């Protein structure tokens, strides 16, 4: 079974900081949210919606349990984003959803590799 490890998270964090050092503190906070808080994914299933097929992420506040901010496309409902304080609009909630997406992509890739490896074993 494919796993996403602490080591994987650490490399994602380092990679992110290398790409944008201004986001360093938000990346650390986002990793904390990813590990200790809830991120609920809600697919937009209304076919009349402009963003049909996309996903809304309800990201739990780092400081207040049970408080959620909604990340939709490139926006977030938190004040860091709405008051335009987050560098390039990347508040910690948006960064947390990016970490989630990257972890899911990584898992998908690994599962694919494991499936292929499994097939090879049967062929031998
Ligand atoms: Zn936010």
Residue 67 in any domain: the answer is: yes
Residue 78's alpha-carbon distances to 71, 86, 96, 121, in angstroms, are 9, 10, 13, 50
Reported as a single tens digit per residue, the pLDDT across 69-103 is 999 999 999 999 999 999 999 999 999 999 999 99
Whether the per-residue pLDDT at 61 is higher than 80: the answer is: yes
In a domain, 20, yes or no: yes
* Inside any domain, residue 101: yes
Question: In total, how many domains does the chain have?
Answer: 1
Residue 116: per-residue pLDDT:
85
Query: Within a domain: residue 118?
Result: no
What distance lies between CA 71 and its chain's CA centroid? 10
Reported as a pLDDT band with limits 50, 70 and 90, residue 107 is very high
Output the CA 39–ligand 1 centroid distance in Å: 12
In a domain, 25, yes or no: yes
Span between the terminal Cα atoms of the chain, in Å = 21
Cα 34 to middle of ligand 1, angstroms: 13
Flag whether 72 is in a domain: yes
Residue 87, in any domain of the structure: yes
Task: Specify the pLDDT at position 117.
Answer: 82
In the reported structure, the alpha carbon of residue 120 is separated from the centroid of ligand 1 by a whole-number distance in angstroms of: 45
Q: How confident is the model at residue 122 (pLDDT cuts 50, 70, 90)?
A: low
CA 21 to centroid of ligand 1, rounded, Å:
18
Residue 60: give the domain boundaries.
Answer: 6-113
Kindly give the distance from the C-alpha atom of residue 37 to the centroid of ligand 1, in angstroms, as a whole number.
14
CA angle 101, 106, 111 (to 5 degrees): 125
Q: Is residue 119 part of a domain?
A: no
pLDDT in tens, 26-58: 999 999 999 999 999 999 999 999 989 999 999
If you measure from the C-alpha of residue 113 to the centroid of ligand 1, how many angstroms do you get, rounded to a whole number?
A: 34
> Which has the closest alpha carbon to 57: 109, 3, 8, 98?
98
Higher pLDDT, 12 or 117: 12
Tell me the whole-structure pTM to 2 decimals.
Answer: 0.90
Residue 123 has pLDDT above 90, yes or no: no
């Amino acid at each position: 079974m494919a796993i996403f490890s602490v080591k994987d998270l650490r490399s994602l964090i380092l990679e992110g900081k290398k790409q944008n050092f201004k986001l360093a503190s938000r990346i650390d906070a986002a990793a904390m949210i990813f590990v200790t808080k809830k991120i609920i994914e809600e697919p937009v299933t209304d076919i009349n919606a402009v963003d049909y097929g996309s996903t809304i992420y309800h990201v739990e506040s780092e400081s207040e349990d049970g408080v959620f901010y909604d990340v939709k496309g490139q926006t977030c409902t938190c004040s860091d984003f709405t008051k335009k304080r987050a560098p390039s609009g990347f508040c910690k909630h948006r960064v947390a959803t990016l970490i989630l997406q990257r972890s899911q992509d990584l898992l998908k890739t690994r599962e694919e590799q494991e499936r292929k490896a499994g097939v090879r074993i049967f062929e031998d």
